[in-house]
Structure 1
């Protein structure tokens, strides 16, 4: 629990000043708690900590490259956070697809990618939570993202490519919860 408390405190310091994003982060952390049975008991604190921390890279003090998953992960690594949390922040919600669109794949490769139940569950928590913290469907969330960014923006292009892959991650999380055990 100490890891989660520290993550919440760090997130509050950096994300609360960003306004609406703080509502989103709080709701993603709550959603991660709801979904935590999709991962093993030993992974649950890392899941919830990563949910609290996933958007800290948007903070001006941290956001040096303006690619928030990378900036957040670099900050956490510099503060000696556990590798599992750092790597989840680095790769949350299709970051590898956006890194490719931005020409930053080599930089993101500083952080190992693991296709896992843990990452799937973080993705599900993030992408079933709207920007204001409301619970939304995955399709509603993707439609919102696509409407917010012009078609020429790397984020828009990312979701055209990442959408089906991320949908599968959410479906795997839902299946794990239905089956009553992580895989």
Structure 2
């Protein structure tokens, strides 16, 4: 089923993003840091979250970008080249409400068929939380600021702009659910 260690995920992500996309690599490292923090509410799934957070944007690597849709390209790479754990691959494929962007790109049926969404809502929400509370260069932010930044960077009428506007309520809901789970943890 493939490796789920954070160290393996880090090696793979750094090899694919570190040299060619340093800003994307910085974002990835920040997302992984959030995942370590959020892991406390996931119990047995903490390591899976860290691995998925570390690999969620690997599909941006120029050599892997075959469809131009990074969740699908990254998931295929992890499955085909690394034999990665199916749950990990499905998380990467569906991170941050990727089905909505896949729909904008005409790839929804393909993504859903190859990589069905996991039936672990808190895990799925946690990956979205980690991604959407991390700036494009790895710092902390709010989900609202992150969505606004994405809209400015890509433009309202771009594929990503249309997607992020549609996904914003889902993103804010996921972030709220994870924040509530974190707040409920004993200190």
- State TM-score, norm by structure 1: 0.94
Q: Residue 153 of structure 1 is aligned with which of 145, 155, 158?
A: 158
Give the whole-Å Cα distance in 1 for the aligned partners of 2:176 and 2:41: 11
SS at match of 2:65: coil
Q: 1:84 to 1:37 in 2, by over 3 A?
A: same
Contact 1:128 1:137 in 2 (8 A): yes
How far did residue 151 of structure 1 move? 2.2
Per-residue Cα deviation, 1:58-112 (whole angstroms, up to 9, x for no partner): 0011110000000000111112100111011001012011001111001211101
Q: Residue 118 of structure 2 is aligned with which of 114, 125, 130?
A: 114
How far did residue 16 of structure 1 move? 0.5
Give the whole-Å Cα distance in 2 for the aligned partners of 1:138 and 1:30: 16
Give the whole-Å Cα distance in 2 for the aligned partners of 1:19 and 1:8: 14
More RCO (CA 8 Å, sep 6+):
1
Aligned to 1:105: 108
Aligned to 1:33: 36
Give the whole-Å Cα distance in 2 for the aligned partners of 1:62 and 1:45: 25
Contact 1:38 1:121 in 2 (8 A): no
The runs of 5 or more residues in structure 2 that have no matched partner are: none
Give the whole-Å Cα distance in 2 for the aligned partners of 1:8 and 1:19: 14
* Structure 1 residue runs of 4 or more that deviate by more than 4 Å after TM superposition: none
